[in-house]
Every structure is written in C-alpha cells, then in structure tokens.
Amino acid sequence: MTDAAELNAFREEVRAWLGANCPPEMREPMRDETDACWGGRNPVFKNEAQKLWMERMAGRGWTVPDWPKDYGGGGLSPAETKIMKQEMAAIGARNPLMSFGISMLGPALLKYGNEEQKKRFLPEIARGEIRWCQGYSEPNAGSDLASLQTKCEDKGDHWLVNGQKVWTSYADKADWIFCLVRTDFQAPKHKGISFLLFDMKTPGVSTRPILLISGNSPFCETFFDDVRVPKDQVVGEINKGWDVAKYLLGHEREMISGMGLGGQTGSLGEALVETIGRDESGRLADPLLRADLARFDVDALAFRAMSERFIDELKAGMAHPAQPSMMKYAGTELNKARHELVMAAGGSNALEWESDRSKKGKAAREWLRTKANSIEGGTSEVQLGIIAKRILDLPGA
C-alpha cells in the first residue's frame, strides 16, 4: 500500500481500532519495569487490561506489525508500520509486549533461520508465548565477544554444551536462550562460533541472580553442565554464528538507542517546572539548570529527527550496517544526560530511596539504571571504535 489515499484510509482504520481496543489503563505511561508485559510460558500480568491489550494486539499480528503474516506478524509495509506507531503514540498506548524475541532473535531468525525454525519459533514469539534470554557475554568475553569459550561438541545425534555466561538478563525468567558457543577451537576466533537455541529447562542449565546497585536483580550468571541440545537448533551455518551474532547486535543496539527518546515527547524543562519552580518573569527559576535543560532539549530534538531518519533508512534497507552503533551511542548518552538533569533538578529529595513520597526512589533508581545503558549491548567506547573504523574510516582505527 503506497497510495496516499489508501494510507489515509489505513490511518483511520488503525485509529478507530486502537480507540476501541486499547484499554484506558494501557494509555498511561509505564511507571517502572514491572508495568511491562513480557509474556512467556507462565506469563505474569499486572492486571486484566494488560492481558487484554497483549492478546488483542497479538490477535492482529500487531505485536510485530512488519513481520510476514505467515510467521504471526501483521504483514504491514514500512509506511503502514510507521502509521501504526504514530497512532499508538498519539494516544499514549503502551508497547503491548516487551520481548527479546521480538527485538533481537526474531529479525535474526527471519534472515538466517531455516523455514522450519521460522515456523516453529516466530509465531510463538509474536503471540508472546515464549520468553527468550541472550547468552552472549562470558566472564572473559564482553567487549571482546569473539573470545568466548563455551564449548559445544558434536556428539553425533546431539550437541553437548559446557561453559558459563554472565550478565544474562532475565535468565531466571526466560523459557529459552539464544546462545553463542564455540564449535571449533582451532579456527581463528571469529570463525569457530555457532548460534544455538535451547530450552532453559534442559537438564544441566542453571542460573544465579546478580544483585545490582539499583537494588534490583535483573540478570544472572548462567551455567551449562553437559547440556544436550538437539542437532536442528543451530541457526545459520555451523562455525558461522558470528554473522548471525553481529546482525542480531545491530537490532539490539537499535532497540537500546530508543532509550534516547525516553518516552518523552515534549521539553524536559517543561516537565520539570513543578520541581524547579519559575522566576518572576516566568522562566525556570535556576539559570544554570535552565541553560543545561535548553541544551538538552535541543539535543533531544536532534536525536528524535536522526532516529526517525534512521528507522526509515533501516526499513528501506538503506542503513549503513554500523549505523546502529551511532544510534546506540547517541541515544544512551542522551538518556544518561536526561536522568542527570532530573536528579539535579530534584536536589537532595531526588536521592530518597524508600519513601512513598519518592515512589520508592523512582528517580534515583532510574538514574542509576541509566549507567548500564552505555554498557549493555556493547559499551560506548566500543561503539565509538566501530564508528571510527566503519563509518568515518579513520586511519589507525
């Protein structure tokens, strides 16, 4: 559908459907991570509205609007997908389903999975029936991911996996893992890696939660002791998992870059007026903070414009492969700056940790969480290295 009249008709249809089907509770901003719906084999819904919203969107394939209908998606074109997102944003509709299956594994399966794998996993992901975690990092393989040592041996009728992953987000809640394993120890490090999928309930898989500075424990150490994995659960070719891994990382970085938008449409200065107060001429009362907030608002507008252009280029297949690194770097640094300003505006009150007044330390906990934005999915330093080498083509990079 490309014709303007058809697109307008589609917009009307989406608007009417959302109006009738998005429960009012799902039009409120999310207050914290527990407001997100993650689906899975044993989904936890915060309330009936959240369940209804996820089911209604999944019923139309709109949890993944641009995936093909055959795999549980909505089959929408890039232009239609954009319209749908705009209409959702216009009424403040929440994302119905947070899912590493949608934002990371799905795109990799669409490109590298065989037909059987696509039919088996993609519709389950679209309906929110399976929750995935990402087994990339290891104690000695973070930025230098290709050094990973988790061993995967071919035992004829199955793979045998032994090793350890770390920082595996929600490993204790996930149903399945997409995992990088070494299948060849003799080859150069990038060339002996395979991309494997397996059930977290497989005997030999165990997890141990890691406690964070924010007081939460969203990720784990993950151990594999003689884990037997069916032969048909490798995605792509054996020993060529690095290609799949890199492609998936591009999508992960695109997802993380969205934090730059911070769920905020207007000016941060305006949003903080109540906290900071106004001077006699109606401007924000603190002149230094006012200047910082003005600078931030300009950066946020520029990021939003860049982000829209990037998504359009990506959907049109015209994005540079290293562009997600640029977006991730800009988006996560911006989000850190946003929360620094929220804390500066709040003063010592913003440091409250447990009180009801502070909503159990919402501002402080969110601020601390942003510190991880420029680490997860590859650090800012690593993104700058990629930008220098692959986009700017700098000598010596």
Ligand X SMILES: Cc1cc2nc3c(=O)[nH]c(=O)nc-3n(C[C@H](O)[C@H](O)[C@H](O)COP(=O)(O)OP(=O)(O)OC[C@H]3O[C@@H](n4cnc5c(N)ncnc54)[C@H](O)[C@@H]3O)c2cc1C
Residues carrying an active site annotation: 252
Q: Which is nearer to ligand X, 147 or 265 (CB)?
A: 147
Minimum CB distance to ligand X, residue 64 (Å): 20
Q: Looking at 49, 273, 306, 375, which residue binds ligand X (CB under 6 A)?
A: 375
Beta bridge partners of 138: 141
219 scored as a contact of ligand X (CB under 6 A): yes
Minimum CB distance to ligand X, residue 207 (Å): 12
Largest CA distance in the chain: 79
Q: Which residue is nearest to ligand X (CB)?
A: 142
372 scored as a contact of ligand X (CB under 6 A): yes
Q: Which is nearer to ligand X, 50 or 168 (CB)?
A: 168
Minimum CB distance to ligand X, residue 204 (Å): 19
d(CA 198, CA 228) in angstroms, rounded, equals: 9
Helix axes 4-21, 78-90, angle to 10 degrees: 40
Handedness of CA 52, 57, 63, 68 (dihedral sign): positive
d(CA 314, CA 312) in angstroms, rounded, equals: 5
DSSP 8-state code for residue 105: I
DSSP 8-state code for residue 192: S
Q: Looking at 379, 388, 390, 391, which residue binds ligand X (CB under 6 A)?
A: 379
Q: Looking at 272, 382, 386, 387, which residue binds ligand X (CB under 6 A)?
A: 382
CA angle (89, 93, 96) in 5-degree steps: 120
62 scored as a contact of ligand X (CB under 6 A): no
Q: Looking at 23, 75, 258, 385, which residue binds ligand X (CB under 6 A)?
A: 385
Minimum CB distance to ligand X, residue 182 (Å): 15
335 scored as a contact of ligand X (CB under 6 A): no
Q: Which is nearer to ligand X, 81 or 383 (CB)?
A: 383
Q: Which is nearer to ligand X, 177 or 261 (CB)?
A: 177
d(CA 11, CA 1) in angstroms, rounded, equals: 12
168 scored as a contact of ligand X (CB under 6 A): yes
279 scored as a contact of ligand X (CB under 6 A): no
d(CA 165, CA 359) in angstroms, rounded, equals: 34
Which 134-163 positions form the footprint of ligand X (CB under 6 A)?
134-137, 142-143
CA angle (224, 379, 301) in 5-degree steps: 130
Residue type, 345: A
Minimum CB distance to ligand X, residue 308 (Å): 26
Minimum CB distance to ligand X, residue 389 (Å): 11
CB 25 within 8 A of CB 68: no
CB 121 within 8 A of CB 108: no
Q: Is 91 helix (H, G, I), strand (E, B) or coil?
A: coil
209 scored as a contact of ligand X (CB under 6 A): no
Instruction: Write out the residues near ligand X by the rule CB under 6 A.
Output: 133-137, 142-143, 167-169, 219, 372, 375-379, 381-382, 385
